[in-house]
Structure formats: structure tokens, C-alpha cells
Structure 1
């Protein structure tokens, strides 16, 4: 949330076998065949015929085999032979049938679709390189970083200075809300290019924020009414008060331009805190604080750091953004006169004007986030 300023009344921030059948009237398995009668010849007599022949004997049918009967000597009827032409014709027909069957079988084999019948003849393509066996899954449990360590020893403090990105001062005059939005959008790419390398060097992923205009009746992230600019970490969105900035610009062009630029840089500082997890850990520390003064102190450390980070960007790009001469003097005066003293509600959540200048004035010169570690400072410097 933007800091309080005295310039206007508007304030920015889931097999088993089958049972055996039995014949009717029979129980158990069939008996083995009986031995031949004593004195019986070992082969049938010549010229005789045994009626019915031998019946098969198996596990499931009882034996009905009896000794051969040799009392029937009735000569067998002569075998009737077919005429020779009939035999020849039958042989020819048989040969033709066999050839036809062979041809049909060959055609069936030739047209059999192994793709349509994969179970009959499965096809598999061998890969050139055998597949490696699956590797076991290893779960690594990351050790959580304490909130105090994250805010006091963050990699952002060791990432180096903010770079000059050779931006040019916006030619847009923020005299209306629509023009103010274009003014913010002209500076946003400069902020992205300046902070992206440092956020990545600190070990975090960079994502550009969105910038939108405040709409009448709109509430802040907490659902409370607001009359200042603010940043929402969940949506990573900066909401600017274009109505206030355009009004101030119409009153004083230099003051309006510097105020809009400084407020945007401050809110972008909150985005940097979000990307580096400082904002999350500081909010956690504030939630665990047991007293209201302790909660307010944590809030001041966060807000003073956001202003400090914004000033580091402005200092690194002061020439390109035109913050020189009278505009530089205006920025210094506004910074020295921005603080909780000017808050109509007298809430001490952003820091005194003295400490605002203490942090922002220093980082404007050093252009280094290392100058913005408000979380290790004594209470007096974040009052």
C-alpha cells in the first residue's frame, strides 16, 4: 500500500476337471476287458466274421467285450465291386475336390488379416533400444524456511544493484484517468526489465504484474474500502488511483508526475517482495504477532522496504526518467514529507517521515536492495 503524502487528500499504496459322466444303471468306472478263453486261437479264424467287432473301453463306459463266438460258420456274402468306369470317375472327382480344397485353403491363408485377428497371429515390433526398467520414485521433503530467515537473509539482498535500463521519460501527460493509465503502462516495462534479473539471481521466478485503475466503490484485497493505491499478491496486480494522480497533475505538473512515478515504484516494490516470498513471510509474522504494536511494527518494516526498493529503481534510472533538477528536488521534498504523520486516521503502519527518508534517501543513492533490509534494523529505525 502506498505511503501517505501531504500533497492531497487522496492517499496512494484415489483344470479343475469336469465330473465324469456315467451310463444309466451303471456305477463306477468300466471294467478292463476279460482274458481270452482257454484254448482260443490268438487270431480270428479265416473265413469268418465277428459281428459287431470290438467296442472301445474307456474311463467312462463299462466293458461289454465278450469272448469271440466261433460257432457261426455262415460264409460271408461276396463283396460287391463297382464297375471300373465308376471307380475312375470317383477317383477323378476326388482328385478335383482335393485340388479345390487346396486352392481355397491357400487363398484363405493369403487373405487372412493378422491385424484384424491379432490373437491368431500377434505382431510386435521390436524396438531398436530395449526399454530401461522404470526407476524408483524418490520423494524428497524440502526443509521449510523459517519466516524470519526469509525476510532477513533473502537472496535479494545479495543480488546486486538495480540496473539502468535506458528508459525514456513518458511523454504522456497524466491529466486524466485514461492518460494516467497510459503513463503507468509506459513505465511498467522499465520496472520489469530492471527487476527481472535481480529476482532470478535471488533464486526466484520472475513474473510481471498487472496494472489497473481503481474503480469507484472498489475495495482492497482484504475487502475494505481504500482511498490509496494498493497491491494484491494473490492476483499480482497493482491498482493505481488514476483519479488522484490526474487531479494532482492538473494542479502541479511536476508534483503530479513525480508522485505518480514514485507511487508506482513503491507498489512495484511490493511485487518484488511477493516474488521473493518476503511479502508472504512478513504477513505470516504479522499474523503470529501477539500484540497490536507488534503487528504495526511488522507492517512498517514491510512498507518502508517497499518504498526503499522503489527508490533504488528511481535512483538507478533517474537520468532516463528525467528525475533531475527541479524534479529531483520535488522527489526529495515529497519523500521527506511522506509518513504516518500525514495519515488522517493516525495509523502508524507505514513509518514516520523521518524513517521514510532514512531508507529511501539511502537506496536512491546506492541503487542496491542490500540497503533495504528493514527486517534486521532496530525498532527505532522502523518507527
Structure 2
């Protein structure tokens, strides 16, 4: 059972179902993304959630609004003259009105009582109190969080144990593709209820993922190998292979149910990485790695953590999921026989079977994400 694989920030992570006790493992994986272009900015990521890069901004067309057009004043028309007698009469009338107004004004001033109507109290228009000058705008820049700090010191590791959510394994028999979808849809709310408090305690926003069955031409998640389940960070979608799961259930019965449960828990581990920004920071670290061995090691740290987080959920809900007795033996066997040894291409991008058990086994017992800090582990533990 090869675990999910990061391809790039715009491509899905993939997972091959675990090899069942009577079935050899098999997986198909793509190539890693190219390294960043030379000279690209290496500024660390910031913010609560990082999605992609900046979009180009520009003007699509010149503004349709034009400046006012100023021209010379229009030419004046011919002036209309008045007859001379009319002009004289108007002048005489104006002089009479002026003299009359002067006499009336003098009389008014002579009778104005300056005590009862003091000139010192004129009627004035009240004006608004002058506003204080606006304060200059101060831009506060958040302290950048380097990728290494985000993956190694994430609040996820301090959020505490995942609690049991009284969730029983769905009773649906996944013997058809439709039934397999119902099985996953019934199990997904358990994962949401278990992880939501942890994500919030870690200081991040919780969002439930979408869940779909694999179908050709499904946008950003298309073009992946046909025999894998995978998580696509673009849209936060978990894609499961209901047709192959149903075929496996008809052949292997309970072992297939354990594999389906473990696969969904692993892919949900990638969603936890997405919500806590571990996913994008790990992709960034991998992109800036200068050698292929360094890229593969980063990929293994990322994938082994998802397996570990899946083990945390299964361990916390061991009783409800009936992971005891023979069913627990099946899960342990599948985990111990999952890894890069089962990849036909022998690509070391998910972790060896030894490393898979090294992380998932203790996480099952602790039920604590603190057991899953693969990014501080020595290279020998993420082989």
C-alpha cells in the first residue's frame, strides 16, 4: 500500500491501496515538479492560509472617460442699442432712487437704539468645529513564517490528542461502486468531527473536504494514475476509487474494508496538512531542494506524516471502528507491508515499509498528532 504522493502545488497527491494479505502491492506514480526558476523570490509564506501565487493585475483597455475639451469662447452676437430718450430717463430715475435711499438710511441710523440692539451682537452663521487632521495610515506587516518553522513547529503538534467521536464503522457493504461511495460518505463525518477541534486548537480554520469517486476529466485532479486514491489541494477534494474498492471487497471481504478505512484516513491526513499550511510549505521546501535525493526525502516526510495522521484517527476511534482482534491484525499487516518496496518503479518517495510502521504504529497507540512530526526526524527514520 503506497501512500499518497505530492506532485506539485497544482497537482494531486496520490495513494495506492494497501496490498492485501494475499495480494502483492502495486502502484503508479508520476514525476516530481520542476524546481523553481533561477532567481525566483524565496520569501517565506505568511498568513493563515496560502493558496497559489499572485495573479497578474493590469488594465484591459484604456479608460472610456475623456478629459473635458476646452475651446475658445463663442463669438458674441450683435449688441442691441436703446433709444437715447430711454437712456436719459433711466439715468434720472436712478439718481432719484439714490437720494431717497440716503435720506431713509440717515433717519434709520438716527433712531437706532444701540443699547437695546447692540451692534456687538450681530447674527452670525454657526460653523462646524474644525476636524482634526487625518492620521497617517500605518501598514503593519505580519512577521513572515519560514517554511521550515511551519512544518517543524506547527501548532498541530501542540493541539493534543484526537478524541473518540463515538463513530462506528459504516455497515454498508461496499460491493458496488455506488455502495463504496456510501461507505465513504458515512465515514467522512467521523473524520470531520474528530479533526475539527484539533485544527482549531492549532490556530487554523477548519473546512471539511469534498469527497468524490474517480472520474475522467475532473479538472485539476485529472490525469493521475487510474489505480490510486488521491487528495487534490485545489478545491480540497479527496478522490476515491469506488470501482476498484468494490472489486477488492468482493474478493477479500473484511480485509478490503480495513484497507478502505485506512486509505480514507491517510488521504484525510493530507487535508489536515492542507488546513495547517504544512502541505504548501512542504511543497515549497521540495521545490527549492537542489538535488533529487533531497526532493525525495521531503516527499517521504510529507507522505509518512499523512500515514501517521491516519493512524492517529484510527487509534483514537479504535473501539467504534472495531479495530480489535483479527481486524487489528489485518490493519497492522497492511501497514507493515506498505511502502516503496511495492512500487514497480522502486521510487523512494513515500517511505519504506519499515518507516511506514515506524510512524503509523506509535501514532495508533498515542492518538496524538505530536507523534507525527516527521519534519524534525533524522533521515534514517524517514527512509
TM-score category, normalised to shorter length: 0.5 to 0.7
How far residue 4 of structure 1 moved from its aligned partner, in angstroms, is 6.0
Q: Does 1:6 align with 2:43?
A: no
Retained in 2: the 8 A contact 1:4–1:12?
A: no
The TM-score with structure 2 as length reference comes to 0.67
Q: Does 1:55 align with 2:92?
A: yes
User: Taking structure 1 as reference, are residues 177 and 193 closer, same or farther at Cα in structure 2, changes over 3 Å only?
Assistant: same
Give the aligned partner of residue 257 of structure 2.
Answer: 257
Retained in 1: the 8 A contact 2:157–2:373?
A: yes
User: Taking structure 1 as reference, are residues 56 and 347 closer, same or farther at Cα in structure 2, changes over 3 Å only?
Assistant: same
CA distance in 2, matches of 1:333, 1:209: 29
| Unpaired stretches in structure 1, ≥5 consecutive residues | 15-20, 31-51, 59-130
SS at match of 1:238: strand
Give the aligned partner of residue 303 of structure 1.
Answer: 303
Retained in 2: the 8 A contact 1:267–1:306?
A: yes
Retained in 2: the 8 A contact 1:175–1:247?
A: yes
How far residue 346 of structure 1 moved from its aligned partner, in angstroms, is 1.2
Retained in 2: the 8 A contact 1:219–1:226?
A: no
Give the aligned partner of residue 284 of structure 1.
Answer: 284
How far residue 5 of structure 1 moved from its aligned partner, in angstroms, is 3.1
Give the aligned partner of residue 158 of structure 2.
Answer: 158
Matches within 5 A, 1:218-233: 221=221, 223-233=223-233
CA distance in 1, matches of 2:280, 2:317: 28
Retained in 1: the 8 A contact 2:336–2:357?
A: yes
Aligned residue-pair number: 283
Retained in 1: the 8 A contact 2:304–2:351?
A: yes
CA RMSD of aligned residues (A): 3.2
Q: Does 1:331 align with 2:331?
A: yes
Retained in 2: the 8 A contact 1:10–1:228?
A: no
| Unpaired stretches in structure 2, ≥5 consecutive residues | 5-14, 30-58, 60-78, 96-130
How far residue 225 of structure 1 moved from its aligned partner, in angstroms, is 3.5
CA distance in 2, matches of 1:361, 1:205: 28
Retained in 2: the 8 A contact 1:4–1:343?
A: no
CA distance in 2, matches of 1:253, 1:135: 71
The TM-score with structure 1 as length reference comes to 0.67
SS at match of 1:307: helix
SS at match of 1:338: coil
Runs of 4+ in 1 over 6 A off after TM superposition: 21-26, 131-136, 217-220
CA distance in 2, matches of 1:261, 1:303: 17
CA distance in 2, matches of 1:135, 1:197: 41
How far residue 151 of structure 1 moved from its aligned partner, in angstroms, is 0.2
Give the aligned partner of residue 313 of structure 2.
Answer: 313
Retained in 2: the 8 A contact 1:170–1:187?
A: yes
Query: Taking CA–CA contacts closer than 8 Å with sequence separation of 6 or more, which of the two structures ends up with the larger relative contact order?
Result: 2
Retained in 2: the 8 A contact 1:10–1:244?
A: no
CA distance in 2, matches of 1:365, 1:4: 23
Give the aligned partner of residue 181 of structure 1.
Answer: 181
How far residue 210 of structure 1 moved from its aligned partner, in angstroms, is 0.9
Retained in 2: the 8 A contact 1:12–1:241?
A: no
User: Taking structure 1 as reference, are residues 336 and 220 closer, same or farther at Cα in structure 2, changes over 3 Å only?
Assistant: farther
User: Taking structure 1 as reference, are residues 53 and 158 closer, same or farther at Cα in structure 2, changes over 3 Å only?
Assistant: closer
User: Taking structure 1 as reference, are residues 135 and 188 closer, same or farther at Cα in structure 2, changes over 3 Å only?
Assistant: farther
Deviations 1:230-266 (A, max 9, x none): 0001110000011222122111111100000000000
Deviations 1:52-76 (A, max 9, x none): 8982467xxxxxxxxxxxxxxxxxx
How far residue 22 of structure 1 moved from its aligned partner, in angstroms, is 12
Retained in 1: the 8 A contact 2:26–2:343?
A: no
How far residue 226 of structure 1 moved from its aligned partner, in angstroms, is 4.1
Give the aligned partner of residue 380 of structure 1.
Answer: 380
User: Taking structure 1 as reference, are residues 135 and 166 closer, same or farther at Cα in structure 2, changes over 3 Å only?
Assistant: farther
